[in-house]
């Protein structure tokens, strides 16, 4: 399926259905659980403390960009792992490969299974992310 075909399909999908387009395949996203939303909200608070002129919104995207934004405007992509069986492959390999190929410079993986936060950077002109040294473990239930 093409990107244009996916965008058309997504426009006609019910509001209750969230779709993803990964490696040419359409996937239905599961609704995030409360802990997932809390992690994203916490990350937004931390980012806003340092970037007062930047608006982060996990649901609406970038202001003035409509439903989809050009990847050239994205500073980073963030994924919080979900609990479904496909999450390991999708969040650790498929999505980062797509983000890197699109030129998004930073990928942050918040892994609830491993209880780590890992920041991956995208070297100029590269097609794969390079993990930064020292993944940070976190405590408590996430």
Beta bridge partners of 19: 28
Determine the pLDDT at residue 142. 44
Report CA 4 to chain centroid distance, whole Å: 20
* Better-predicted residue by pLDDT, 89 or 142: 89
pLDDT at 133 over 60: no
On the question of pLDDT at 105 being above 50, the answer is yes
85 CB neighbour count, 10 Å cutoff = 8
CB contact at 8 A, 107 and 120:
yes
How many residues in the chain?
142
Local confidence band at 74 (pLDDT 50, 70, 90 cut-offs): confident
In the 8-state DSSP scheme, what is residue 64? T
Per-residue model confidence as pLDDT tens digits over 107-131: 888 888 888 888 888 656 666 666 6
**pLDDT value of position 108:** 87
> What element of type H or E holds 17?
none
Q: Rounded mean pLDDT of 46-56?
A: 68
Torsion, Cα 86 87 93 98, to 10 degrees, reads 100
Please state the domain extents for the chain: 1-31, 32-137
In this prediction the pTM is 0.71
Q: Which stretch of 9-18, 39-48, 54-63 has the lowest confidence by average pLDDT?
A: 54-63
User: Comparing C-alpha atoms, which of 84, 91, 139, 94 is closest to residue 116?
Assistant: 139
Question: CA torsion angle for 88, 92, 97, 103 (degrees, to 10)?
Answer: 140
């Amino acid at each position: 399926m093409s990107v244009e075909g996916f965008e058309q399909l997504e426009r006609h999908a019910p509001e209750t259905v969230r779709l993803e387009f990964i490696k040419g395949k359409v996937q239905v996203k599961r609704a995030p659980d409360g802990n997932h939303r809390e992690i994203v909200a916490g990350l937004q608070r931390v980012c806003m403390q340092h970037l007062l002129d930047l608006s982060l919104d996990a649901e609406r995207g970038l202001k003035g960009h409509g439903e989809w934004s050009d990847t050239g405007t994205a500073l980073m992509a963030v994924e919080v792992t979900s609990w479904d069986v496909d999450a390991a492959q999708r969040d650790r390999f498929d999505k980062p490969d797509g983000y890197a190929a699109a030129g998004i410079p930073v990928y942050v993986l918040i892994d609830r299974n491993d209880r780590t936060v890992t920041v991956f950077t995208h070297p100029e002109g590269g097609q794969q992310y390079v993990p930064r040294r020292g993944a940070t473990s976190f405590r408590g239930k996430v």
